[in-house]
A and B are shown apart, each in its own frame.
Chain A
Amino acid sequence: MAKKLMLGNEAIARGAYEAGVKLSSAYPGTPSTEISENIVKYKEIYSEWAPNEKVAMEVALGASISGVRAMASMKHVGVNVAADPLFTASYTGVNGGLVLVAADDPGLYSSQNEQDTRMVGRSALVPVIEPADSAEAKEFVKIAYKISEEYDTPVILRTTTRLSHSQCMVELIDREEREDIPYVKNTEKYVMMPAKAKKRHPIVEARMDKLAIDSCNMPVLNRAEYNDTKIGFITDGIAYQYIKEVLPNASVLKIGMVNPLPKNLIMEFASKVDKLYIFEELEPVIEEQVKSWGIKAIGKEIFTKQGEYSANMLRKEFLGQEIIREDLGNIPGRPPVLCPGCPHRSVYTALKQLKMHACGDIGCYTLGALEPLATLDTTICMGASISTLHGMQKAKGTEFIRDWVAVIGDSTFLHTGVNSLIGMVYNKGVGIVMILDNSTTGMTGHQDHAATGKTLNGEVTNAINLQTLCRAIGVKYVEEINAFDIPALKTAIKEAQKRDTITVIITKSPCVLLKSNHFTTKCIVDTTKCVKCGACLKPGCPALSKNDDGTIKIDPNMCNGCGLCMSLCKFGAITEVKA
C-alpha cells in the first residue's frame, strides 16, 4: 500500500478523493486553504473558489441535493459567513453526503479571533467530527460522508491550525467511484418555509439524539484506551497527542465525534477512572456537558481557554517539570511585515503623509496597522472596512470622516465588501473607499478570484472589472491609480475629501510575490550623497537598514526595485540599476 507524508489539509483532500466526492467549493483562509489547492489536483473532483464561504456552502449543498458527495472548506471565521445556509442545511439534510471542513486557529496564527467551531456544531445541530493527525483526517472524511448519508445531515469536520499544517504518514487507497443518488423532488425536505421547517425540527433533534447513542459504538471515532485508571483524560483533536507524548500510561477517552457527545461511553469511562481530567483546546465544550451530567471532572480550572495546548503543559502539571529558561536579556520581537516591494507600503505611506485615519480589512494590508506605517484604526472582519466607515459617517456626520478612508483588498472586496459598498451607495453615504488591488488573494498564498481572470484549476475565465462594478453600483467617482504613484494618490485623496459623495480609488499594482511579476531593477545607495535624514526608512521596508556611519544600505537580495525609497529621497542618493 502506498504511503505518503501529508499535510493535514492534503490528507483531507485525499479523503474527499477516496470518498468519491464530486464537487468542492471554498474560499481561501488560513489554515484551510491547502484543502482546495490539493483537491484541484484530482481531476475526478470539480473544484472552485467561491467569492465567499456562504456561496461555497450553498454550492456544496446544491451539489448534495442533486445527489453527489460534496465538500465546502473554510477557516473558522468563514463558518460565520456560511452559517446561514449551514443552519438550515441542518434541517433539510442531504441527498449526496455533505461535509463542511472548518479549520479553527487556536493561538491565532493568522486570524482575528479564536472562536471554537465545535460550538457552532452544537448550535446548528450538526455532527462535528475531529481527527488528531493527517492519517485520521483522511479516514474521518470518509466516515463523515457515511454518517452524512446514513443520518441525513451535513457533517462538520473540524481541524485546527496545528493539524492542518502538520505532516505525517498517510496510507493511500483507491477512490470509491459512486453512483449518483437519484434526485427526487421533495419539497417537505428542501423547501424550508415555516410550516415545513417546523416539521423538520423534531426530525433533526431525533437525529442528534440517535447519533449520541450510536456514536458510543463507533470505535474508530470514539475510543476508550484503558491503562492505569488512577487518572483518565477525555480529549479531542491534537490535544490527544500531547497526552500520549507525556502520559502514555494514562487512560484516555479519545473523542472523535465531539457533537453530539457519546454520553453513555463518557459515563462508563468516568466511572472507571479515579480522577477525571478534560483536556480540550479553547472552550469547555466537552467539559460543560460532562459536568452537566453530574460527573466530577477537572478541566478549565487548570487548563487555559486560550491558545494552543502543549506537552509541556502536562509535564508541568503532572510530572512537576518546569522549563528552566536562560536569561539572555531583551530579545526584540519580530512581527510580520509587508514584503519589500509591496504596493500596500506605498499606499500607506501616502495615507500617513496625509495623516489619514483608516478603517481596515482582512488581508496582508492589515499589517498597515503596525509601526512604522500605523495607519489603521480598525480591523474587524472580511468586508467590514467599508461598512464601519459608513456607520461612522451616518452616526457622526461627514466632517467626522473627512480624514478617513476605508481600505480593502481586491479579493476581500469581492468577498463581502461589495455588499457594504452597495449599502453605502443606497443610503447616500459619503466617504473614500480604497481598493488595494494587487490582483490576487495575497495573505493566504496567492489564490485566484473573480477579478483575476483565472479559475482554481487555472482556466481562463471572465475577469470582473472592479471599476465597472463600482460604477454599476452607482459610484460616480471611480479612479484607478498606480499604487506606487504617491503624488497621484495624494491628489486623488485630497480631491475626494472635498466631495459630499462616495469616491472609490482603486490602487493597482500586482503583489510582489506573484510569479507573473518580474522585476527588472534594484535600488542602490550612493552613500556620498546620503545625508542620513532617514526619510527612506519611514515606510519600514525590510530591505533597508543603516550602515555603522548612519548612511543607508539596501540589501540586494531583498530589494525588488519598487522604487518607493528612491521616490522619498530628496538628495538623489538612491538610484535604480538593472537587476
Chain B
Amino acid sequence: MEKNIMIVGVGGQGTLLTSRILGGIGDNDVKLSEVHGMAQRGGSVVTFVRYGENVREPIVEEGQADVLIAFERLEAMRYINFLKADGVLILNDIRIDPITVLTGVDKYPENIVEKLKKNHKVVAFDAMKIANDLGNARVFNLIVLGVCAQFMECSKEKWLEVIEKTVPAKTIEINKKAFLTGLNLK
C-alpha cells in the first residue's frame, strides 16, 4: 500500500490515537508524525501517516495527501490544500468554535462543506451524533476511521486486531463497534 494520510482536528479530540491505529495497519514501511505539547491544548492539531515501500519523510506536505481525515469542519478548510487533486476528504461534519470566534474577534465561515465540495471529493457526516447514539461520544474518531477504511486496502480482521492492541483495554468493545459502524456507513 502506498498512501499519504493526514488527520486534522482540535487538540483533545483523539487525533493521536487515530494515527497510531492507522500506523498499525501498515504492511511495508510506515512512518507517523505527531504533535505533542502546547498545541494539544485545544489548538489546531495535525498528525501524518505514510505508507510505502521505503518511506522517507515522516510528514505529508501540501498537495501530497491521498486522504485527509478532518475531525472538524474549520480544520478541514484550513488544511484542504494538503489534499491531492484526486484525494478524498473524510469529514466529521461538526463545528467547534475557536476562541477567536467565541470572543467575537472572528466569524466562523459559512457553507464550508459546499465550498470544499466544489473542487474535492468529500465524504461528510456527523460522527458525534452517531457516537452519541452508540452511547459514547468519545468514540466518534473510530467511526470516522471506519469510513476511512472504506478507502483503504486492509482487511476488516487486521483493523480490528490493531484497534484491540491500541485502544485502552476497557474500551475495546465500544471502539470496535464504532469502527464497524463507520465501515458499514453508506
Contact = CB atoms under 8 A, between A and B. Distances in A.
B65 to A, nearest CB: 12
Interface string B26-60: 10011111111111111110000000000111110
Contact of A162 (B11, B23, B59, B78): B59
Interface in A328-372: 328-339, 364, 366-367, 370-372
A372 B105 CA distance: 10
B137 A330 contact: no
Nearest to A329: B109
Contact of A542 (B33, B42, B58, B109): B42
Nearest to B106: A332
Contacts of B36: 30-31, 33-34, 109-110, 165, 445
Contacts of B106: 330, 332-333
Interface stretch (B95-103, B143-151, B152-160, B177-185): B95-103
Interface in A280-338: 310-312, 323-326, 328-338
B45 to A, nearest CB: 9
B57 A311 contact: yes
Nearest to A444: B37
A326 B100 contact: no
B102 to A, nearest CB: 6
B44 A334 contact: yes
A323 B65 CA distance: 13
Nearest to B81: A325
A166 B58 contact: yes
B127 interface: no
Interface of A is mostly: loop
Interface string B85-107: 00000000000111111110111
B7 interface: no
Contacts of A367: 38, 41
Given A165-B34, A326-B81, A336 B11 contact: yes
A330 B78 CA distance: 10
A557 interface: yes
A151 interface: no
A554 B30 CA distance: 40
A245 interface: yes
A544 interface: yes
Contacts of B102: 537, 540, 542, 544-545
A162 B107 contact: no
Contacts of A190: none
Given A167-B32, A168-B55, A323-B62, A372 B38 contact: no
Contact of A339 (B41, B63, B81, B98): B41
A443 interface: yes
Contact of B31 (A166, A371, A372, A544): A166
A242 B57 contact: yes
Interface of B: 10-12, 23-24, 26, 29-44, 55-59, 61-63, 74-75, 77-78, 80-81, 96-103, 105-109, 115-116, 119, 128, 137-138
9 contacts: A5-B30, A7-B34, A33-B36, A34-B36, A165-B35, A166-B34, A167-B32, A312-B61, A335-B43
